[in-house]
Amino acid sequence: MSGFELEGHRPTWAEVNLDALAANYRAVRERVGAGVKVMGVVKADAYGHGAVECARRLAAEGAEWFGVASPEEAFTLRRAGVNQNILSFGGFWDGQAGECLRQRVVPVVYRLDMAEALDAAAGEAGVVADIHVKIDTGMGRLGVRYDEAAEFASKLREFKNIRVDGLMTHFAAADEPRRDCFTEEQLRHFREAVAAFRERGHAPTYEHAANSAATFAHPETRGNMVRPGGVLYGLWRDVLPPLADAPEFRPVMSVRTRVTLLKRVHAGETLGYGCTFEAAREMTVATVTIGYADGYARALSNRGRVIVRGRLVPVVGRVSMDLTLLDVTDVPGVETGDVVTVLGEDGGLSVPAEDIARTAGTLSYEITCGVSARVPRSYLAAGS
Ligand SMILES: *Cc1c(COP(=O)(O)O)cnc(C)c1O
């Protein structure tokens, strides 16, 4: 347990283990080898872990590229002094071209008017702007359709102040073995698009396609850069397909709180909103100060499990906005102030984000992204 003290604050916090993040990053690097760069995907505040702190640590581990969702996320990193390359996956929006240039944020481009705006801004500044062009090979979201890539490549040639530094695509189902044919088809379309760009005089430095799942399940997709997010944060059981040789990624986030109130509850009494839980016996119930406004999903009502004093105990009744109830009847010596781990590890036990996600009917990413701003992050690293 950390010595993170919240003296004068509500005792609910998230611990982010930066050594685990670094170990996961190294595990990816080791797997892909020296010829392939590993972009650290830190969008959405590093999946809830804190983009600035995670990017700083990954930079110290040698990361040369970071992936974010928007220019705003990139500017946040720049303000914090992160000076590695940053790719904005979402591109940029009206009025952001100049600021992207000034702050050396490389946008993903997927519309001609974006190239035009950036070209104009770069011309004014007297520089050449790097872009990465996204090819839609089957995801159907952002990206130039693969069957329109050649035409797009030709038209881009008209803009003298931009350079295609990278070509990329994104896989829809790299984690699903029964969709391997689809993934292979996406890769084929991507390679054709890359060839079309090269034939039209573009010379991209980077070709990248692989998210976490593709990096591990489809090595042929790696190109010369991979873009893992989830596995860096130790989220993998519901992200990678079952693989014989998946590294043991370490969970990075733990969310903890403390017992605020203990009470006796008699058989036949009900607990919480909607009276959804009825005590079948004399019970000891703990109230903890965490709820769905902190990201502890309401779907965990009567279903979640948390760690108290080295035991897994059940959530009873509905999770409410700010408070949750636990059955601690079988926890010897339980006291007000005891630490409660709702996500992550404590001693030998763990409540993985993947398990919470399965219970809540979602993906582990949504669990860590959902840990709200109301929960302060505490960063752990050896020697700090
Ligand atoms: C989020 C994202 C990734 C990382 O995906 P993971 O599944 O977290 O590895 C890679 N590329 C793009 C374009 C993304 O949006």
Q: Check if the beta carbon of residue 225 is closer than 8 Å to that of residue 211.
A: no
**How many domains would you assign to the chain?**
2
Q: How far is the CA of 42 from the centre of ligand 1 (A)?
A: 9
Position 49 scores a pLDDT of 98
Query: Binning pLDDT at 50, 70 and 90, where does residue 15 land?
Result: very high
Q: Decide if 43 is inside a domain.
A: yes
Look at ligand 1, atom 6, and give the residue with the nearest C-alpha: 229
Q: How far is the CA of 288 from the centre of ligand 1 (A)?
A: 34
Q: How far is the CA of 229 from the centre of ligand 1 (A)?
A: 6
Which residues form the pocket of ligand 1, taking CB atoms under 6 Å from any ligand atom? 41, 43, 89, 170, 211-212, 227-230, 239
Pocket test for ligand 1, best of 89, 207, 368 (most atoms within 8 A of CB): 89
In terms of domains, do 218 and 259 share one? no
Query: How many other C-beta atoms can be found within 10 angstroms of the C-beta atom of residue 300?
Result: 21
**Mean pLDDT over residues 158-169, rounded?**
98
Instruction: List the alpha helices (DSSP H) in the chain.
Output: 18-32, 43-47, 51-60, 71-79, 97-102, 112-125, 149-156, 180-199, 212-217, 353-360, 364-369
Query: Binning pLDDT at 50, 70 and 90, where does residue 243 land?
Result: confident
Secondary-structure percent of the chain, ordered helix, strand, coil, rounded to 5: 35, 25, 40
In terms of domains, do 67 and 130 share one? yes
Q: How far is the CA of 320 from the centre of ligand 1 (A)?
A: 32
Atom of ligand 1 nearest to the CA of 89: 13
In terms of domains, do 284 and 330 share one? yes
pLDDT in tens, 103-140: 999 999 999 999 999 999 999 999 999 999 999 999 99
Nearest Cα residue to 224 out of 201, 211, 207, 241? 207
Q: Check if the beta carbon of residue 341 is closer than 8 Å to that of residue 309.
A: no
Q: How far is the CA of 29 from the centre of ligand 1 (A)?
A: 16
CA dihedral 151, 157, 159, 161 (to 10 degrees): 140
DSSP summary character for residue 362: S
The secondary structure of 137-198 as a DSSP string is SSS-SSSEEGGGHHHHHHHHTT-TTEEEEEEE---S-TT-GGGHHHHHHHHHHHHHHHHHHH
pLDDT surpasses 60 at 88: yes
In terms of domains, do 192 and 100 share one? yes
Q: Decide if 82 is inside a domain.
A: yes
Query: How many other C-beta atoms can be found within 10 angstroms of the C-beta atom of residue 236?
Result: 25
Query: Binning pLDDT at 50, 70 and 90, where does residue 384 land?
Result: low
Atom of ligand 1 nearest to the CA of 228: 9
**Mean pLDDT over residues 344-354, rounded?**
96
pLDDT surpasses 70 at 216: yes
Q: Decide if 372 is inside a domain.
A: no
- Classify 122 as helix, strand or coil: helix
Query: Binning pLDDT at 50, 70 and 90, where does residue 246 land?
Result: confident
Average pLDDT, the chain: 96
In terms of domains, do 164 and 278 share one? no
Nearest Cα residue to 291 out of 310, 312, 317, 265? 317
Q: What CATH code is carried by the domain that includes residue 183? A: 3.20.20.10
Percent of the chain with pLDDT over 70: 98
User: d(Cα 356, Cα 25) in Å, to the nearest integer?
Assistant: 24
Pocket test for ligand 1, best of 41, 89, 137 (most atoms within 8 A of CB): 41
In terms of domains, do 144 and 215 share one? yes
Atom of ligand 1 nearest to the CA of 231: 9
In terms of domains, do 177 and 69 share one? yes
Atom of ligand 1 nearest to the CA of 235: 8
**Mean pLDDT over residues 311-325, rounded?**
98
Domain hosting 140: range is 18-233
Q: How far is the CA of 41 from the centre of ligand 1 (A)?
A: 7
Measured distance between the N- and C-terminal CA atoms of the chain, rounded to whole angstroms: 14
Q: What CATH code is carried by the domain that includes residue 270? A: 2.40.37.10
Q: Decide if 358 is inside a domain.
A: no
Q: How far is the CA of 233 from the centre of ligand 1 (A)?
A: 12
Tokens of residue 298, six digits: 């309401």
Handedness of CA 334, 337, 339, 340 (dihedral sign): positive
Q: Decide if 271 is inside a domain.
A: yes
Catalytic residues: 43, 273
Atom of ligand 1 nearest to the CA of 47: 8
Tokens of residue 274, six digits: 């909607």
Position 303 scores a pLDDT of 98
Position 1 scores a pLDDT of 45
Q: Decide if 359 is inside a domain.
A: no
**Mean pLDDT over residues 250-259, rounded?**
98
pLDDT surpasses 50 at 320: yes
Q: Decide if 246 is inside a domain.
A: no
Handedness of CA 357, 363, 368, 371 (dihedral sign): negative
Query: Binning pLDDT at 50, 70 and 90, where does residue 80 land?
Result: very high
pLDDT surpasses 60 at 3: no
The pairing of strands 253-265 and 283-288 is antiparallel
